[in-house]
Structure 1
Amino acid sequence: MKRMITLVLCLPLVFSLVGFSAKAEASEKDEIRQYLETNVALLQHTFDNLPKHSTKDQIDRAIEEHYKKYPTPQRIKNTSLNELDVFPELEEKYKKIKQQDIKLQYSTDEELNNILEKVYTFKKDNSTVRVFLGEIGDIQVMEQTSTPDNSTSKDASTQAVTNMERNTVTAYAVLGGARVFNVWAEGKFQYDKKKKTVKVVHKDGDYRKFIAGSLLQIEEKKMGESRVADQGKYVYREVYSRIYVEAILGFKFGGVVFNSGLAEVYVGAGSNGATYGGQKKL
């Protein structure tokens, strides 16, 4: 009987603690949501004021300076909640985005804005940089460089070689804006417009970690590998790099916010010599 009475007396305390925990979590979610929504407007202001010829290094510095000026509160950085806990409505959207490749040349800013909320394009010399800013302040930066090759020919009757194409994608932490990692793929392609053929004549790829220790683990899957990417009667070849990433921090890649999974970046060319670059979460 004494044990039963003790159990009955303890039950209200258990339910009270559960209720308190639920209220605390709801309050924490509201605080994170409010912070992220406010930060988006501030980030938009930061990118709107960058010159259109800004380089990737200048963009990185602008992001770093932004978070120095508007630091993420430490209690938010230390949260055990992930982004989808706070914004569950994004889950369905991410499922759709994961089915799409984000290509540079074949997508206008307007088209990309419809997919990825807000896109900023910066061009200088042989570099095109696109900054993708999501609705919760999630950032990813994709840079494609096209280095001229003296052997490149525009004559459709002859065999020619494309420029050296490199596509680099950098992922940033959603909370705090720190660079997490980048991964790149590089390729050069020989093509023949008359014969409708294309082949890879140079391929390379690699990745770089910006966070040390156990907070970030990266496993190479494919680095600078070539593949056939034909679409029906159209002939394409690609060079791609693929890594498996596992991180404590949520980051954005391929238009999706996550903290573990496969990330891929690639460059490609068709038999007409047109080149492209893209990224995706697998």
Structure 2
Amino acid sequence: MPLNVFAKGAIQDKKHKKDLEIAKEYLEKSSDGLTIGFSELLGKSISMDDAEKVISNYYEKNPVPKGILNNPDLLSEIASKEKANEDFIIYEDMKNGQQHRDNGEVFIFDRKGGGKIGVYISKHGGTSLSELAVSGASGINSDGVGTMATTGVRSTLCVATNGYGAKMFDLSAIGNFWYNGSSSSITSHDGLFHRYFWGSSLTISNVSTGNMRTVYTGGYRYSEVYSRAYVETTIPLEWGNIVVGSGTYEASVGVTVSGNVYGRCIRL
């Protein structure tokens, strides 16, 4: 006699609970394992390739269980979704080290070639990478009255990943800035967007890169280059230092009037 509807539902519910338990345990172990991996790099200058190698090596040695790999709904049930906007800002003179947050761990490293690399490891196991890169020499010209300078080319790269470490897409903002202590401006601007294989399931629209803006906050002036994309996703994504869902994702690079350069990743 075939199982009735209620019996089938009970079996499916039991299987789902088991898969959810397996997924949660796997993600928590991933968070601990990745934290250990990046802790071993503290005090070193690294590249994005070095950071990505830590992540790929971990998942090669600890593959995602087959029973949960093809069930993205499990990530949505496990991951906490941040409702408020939260900037992830990297400053060129930011102190390196590990920072404990309520939602995970943040690592800041010196970047090989200049700049900083930020790593966010969610307490649920996902990892995202951010980079503030220096790719051009700064210039200073003194006219005897004041000092004018250019930053050289600076760029911010923000990478979105899923809870299993796979890269979904990235956004970058690229700019060269002028400043003189009382004002600032943008001398060149550009940006890039790239979708990876695992990001093919996302619906991405309104991609706009290399935009310029002037921001005034607390009486201070900031010149910024930014790139944006609207992303529709059924699973939570790691971005900057939060776990978020659908919305407008932004990467920006900017400068203060005194020449302090910063990069930012935010979901609007």
TM range (shorter): 0.7 to 0.9
Question: What is the CA-CA distance between 1:217 and the residue it aligns to?
Answer: 3.9
CA distance in 1, matches of 2:18, 2:95: 40
1:6 alignment partner in structure 2: none
Q: Higher mean Cα deviation, 220-229 or 154-163?
A: 154-163
With the length of structure 2 as denominator, give the TM-score of the two structures: 0.86
Higher strand share: 2
Deviates more, 1:69-78 or 1:43-52: 43-52
For residue 132 of structure 1, what is the aligned residue in structure 2? Answer: 120
Q: What letter matches 1:226 in structure 2?
A: M
The alpha-carbon distance between structure 1 residues 213 and 71, as it changes in their structure 2 partners (threshold 3 A), is: closer
Q: Counterpart in 2 of 1:240?
A: 226
State how far apart, in whole Å, the 1-side matches of 2:233 and 2:142 are. Answer: 45
C-alpha displacement of 1:28? 1.7
Larger proportion of helix:
1
Q: Which of the pair has more CA radius of gyration?
A: 1
Long gaps (5+) in structure 1: 1-9
The residue identity in structure 2 corresponding to 1:60 is E
Q: After the TM superposition, which of the residue ranges 200-209 and 117-126 deviates more from structure 2?
A: 117-126
Q: Which residue of 2 aligns with 1:170?
A: 159
Secondary structure in 2 matching 1:280: strand
Higher relative contact order (CA 8 A, sep 6+): 2
Matches within 5 A, 1:93-132: 94-95=82-83, 98-105=84-91, 113-114=100-101, 116-123=103-110, 124-132=112-120
> 2:61 is matched with which residue: 36, 50, 69?
69
**1:144 and 2:135 equivalent?**
no
Tell me the secondary structure at the aligned position of residue 152 of structure 1.
strand
* Matched residues, number: 263
1:4 paired residue number:
none
What letter corresponds to residue 48 of structure 1 in structure 2?
Answer: S
Worse overlay, 256-265 or 135-144? 256-265
SS at match of 1:41: helix
Structure 1 residue 253, shift from structure 2 partner? 0.9
* 1:201-243: CA deviation from partner (whole Å, max 9, x where unpaired): 1111011122178424432432110112111321111110001
- TM-score under structure 1 length normalisation: 0.82
Q: 1:83 to 1:209 in 2, by over 3 A?
A: same
Change (3 A) 1:270 1:179: same
Percent identity between the aligned chains? 26
Find out whether 1:257 has 2:243 as its counterpart.
yes
- The worse-fitting range, judged by mean Cα deviation, of 128-137 and 17-26 is 17-26
| 8 Å CA contact retained: 2:34, 2:54 | no
Q: Within 5 Å, give how 1:28-47 maps onto structure 2.
A: 28-47=19-38
Which residue is equivalent to 2:215? 229
Match of 1:27 among 14, 18, 24: 18
Give CA deviations for 1:163-208 in whole Å, capped at 9, x if unaligned.
3110101122212x22222110011111221xx2211111110111
Farther-moved stretch of structure 1 (233-242 vs 217-226): 217-226
Residues in 1 aligned to 2:248 and 2:189: alpha-carbon distance in whole angstroms: 20
Q: Aligned partners of 2:34 and 2:140: how far apart in 1? A: 40
Match of 2:179 in 1: 191
* Equivalent-residue separation in structure 2 for 1:213 and 1:141 (angstroms): 16
C-alpha offsets along residues 124-149 of structure 1, whole Å, 9 cap, x if unaligned? 33131111111011111111112343
* Preserved contact between residue 140 and residue 172 of structure 1 (Cα < 8 Å): yes
Cross-structure match for 1:266:
252
Q: Tell me the CA shift for residue 112 of structure 1.
A: 5.1
Secondary structure of residue in 2 paired with 1:230: strand
The CA distance in 1 between the partners of 2:99 and 2:223, in whole Å, is: 24
